[in-house]
Amino acid sequence: MGPKFQKKVIGRGAAYIYIETIASLISGYFFWLIMSKLTSSEVIGTSSTVVTFATIVAVIAGLGITTGMQPSIAKNLSEKKIEEAKIYFISCLLLVCIGIFVCCISVLIAGNWIANSFGIEFGLIMMSILLIASYNISTLFRSAVVSSLMTQSLPLVFIVSAGAKLVVSSLLLVLGLGSVGLVFGFTFNYILSSILLAVIILKTIFKTAKIKNVLENLKDNTKKILLASVVNWVPILIMIVGSQLGTIVVFGTYGASQAGVYFLALTIVTGITSVMSSLYTIALPTLSGLHDYRKRIAWQTIRLSAIIILPFTCSLIFFSNEIMNLFGQAYVNGSVSLQILLISMLPMCVTDGIYTLAYSYRNYRYVLIVGLAISVPQTILYFLFIPIYGEVGAALAYTVGATLGCVVSIVISKKIGLLLFWKELVAIFILPTSIGYALSILHMNYILAIIFTIVFSYIILLKIRIVTRSDIHDFLDILPDNISNQIISLAGKFKKC
DSSP string, 193-215: HHHHHHHHIIIIITTT----SHH
Residues 225 and 219: their CA atoms lie apart, in Å, by 10
pTM (2 decimals)? 0.74
Torsion angle in degrees (nearest 10) through CA of 251, 253, 255, 260: -40
pLDDT confidence of residue 483 = 46
Angle at 371 between CA 370 and CA 377, to 5 degrees: 95
b/e for 193-202, b at 16 or more Cβ within 10 A? bbebbeebbe
Is the pLDDT reported for residue 419 higher than 60? yes
Convert the pLDDT of each residue in 49-62 to its tens digit.
899 899 889 988 98
Query: Looking at residue 14, what is its pLDDT?
Result: 56
Q: How confident is residue 472, by pLDDT bands cut at 50, 70 and 90?
A: low
H/E segment holding residue 331 = none
Q: Which uninterrupted H or E stretch holds 327? A: none
Q: Could you tell me if 346 and 311 are in contact, meaning their C-beta atoms sit under 8 angstroms apart? A: no
User: What span, in angstroms and rounded, lies between the C-alpha atoms of 245 and 241?
Assistant: 5
- pLDDT the model gives residue 23: 75
Which residue would you say has higher pLDDT here, 405 or 490? 405
Residue 382 above 50 pLDDT?
Answer: yes
CA distance 131 to 115: 17
| Across 422-447, average pLDDT | 89
What mean pLDDT is predicted for residues 428-455? 91
Distances (CA, A) of 486 to 304, 320, 346, 455, 493: 21, 35, 31, 17, 11
pLDDT for res 331: 85
**In the prediction, which pLDDT does 231 show?**
67
pLDDT of res. 340? 93
Q: Is the pLDDT of residue 310 over 50?
A: yes
**Band of residue 393 on the pLDDT scale cut at 50, 70, 90:** very high
User: 265 pLDDT exceeds 80?
Assistant: yes
Of 19-33, 250-264, 480-494, the range with the highest mean pLDDT is 250-264
493 falls in which pLDDT band (50, 70, 90)? low
pLDDT (0 to 100) of residue 290: 47
Rounded to 10 degrees, the C-alpha dihedral 87/93/99/104 comes to -150
* b/e 38-49 (16+ beta carbons within 10 angstroms → b): ebebbbbbbbbb
Which range has the worst mean pLDDT, 164-173, 182-191, 260-269, 483-492?
A: 483-492
At residue 208, the pLDDT reads: 59
Tell me which residue of 432, 378, 420 sits closest to 400, measured CA to CA: 378
Distance between CA atoms of residues 66 and 50, nearest Å = 23
Measured distance CA(302)–CA(308) in Å, rounded: 10
Rounded mean pLDDT, 201-228: 67
More confident residue, 209 or 407: 407
Predicted local distance difference test score (pLDDT) of residue 497: 52
Please provide residue 96's backbone torsions phi and psi, each rounded to the nearest 5 degrees.
Answer: -65, -40
What single DSSP character describes residue 289? T
In contact, 461 and 428? CB cutoff 8 Å: yes
pLDDT at residue 18 is higher than 90: no
- Per cent of the chain over pLDDT 90 is 21
pLDDT of residue 478: 45
Rg (CA), the chain: 22
Type of residue found at 346: L
Query: How many helices (H) and strands (E) are present in the chain, helices listed first?
Result: 21, 0
Q: Sorting pLDDT into bands at 50, 70 and 90, what band is 229?
A: confident
C-beta neighbour count of 109 within 10 angstroms? 9
Do residues 282 and 66 lie in contact, with contact meaning Cβ atoms separated by under 8 Å? no
Asked if 165 and 188 touch (Cβ cutoff 8 Å), the reply is yes
Mean pLDDT of the 306-310 span? 85
Quick check: 77 and 146 in contact, CB under 8 A? Answer: no
User: What's the pLDDT score for residue 183?
Assistant: 92
The Cα 180–Cα 121 span in angstroms is 9
Q: What is the dihedral of CA 35, 38, 39, 45, to 10 degrees?
A: 10
The three-state DSSP-derived secondary structure of 392-423 is HHHHHHHHHHHHHHHHHHHHHHHHCCCCCCHH
pLDDT digits (tens, 9 = 90+) for 270-306: 878 877 766 665 554 454 444 446 677 778 778 888 8
Q: What is the mean pLDDT of residues 328-356?
A: 87
C-beta separation of 377 from 404 below 8 A: yes
CB atoms within 10 A of CB 306: 23
Across the chain, mean pLDDT equals 80
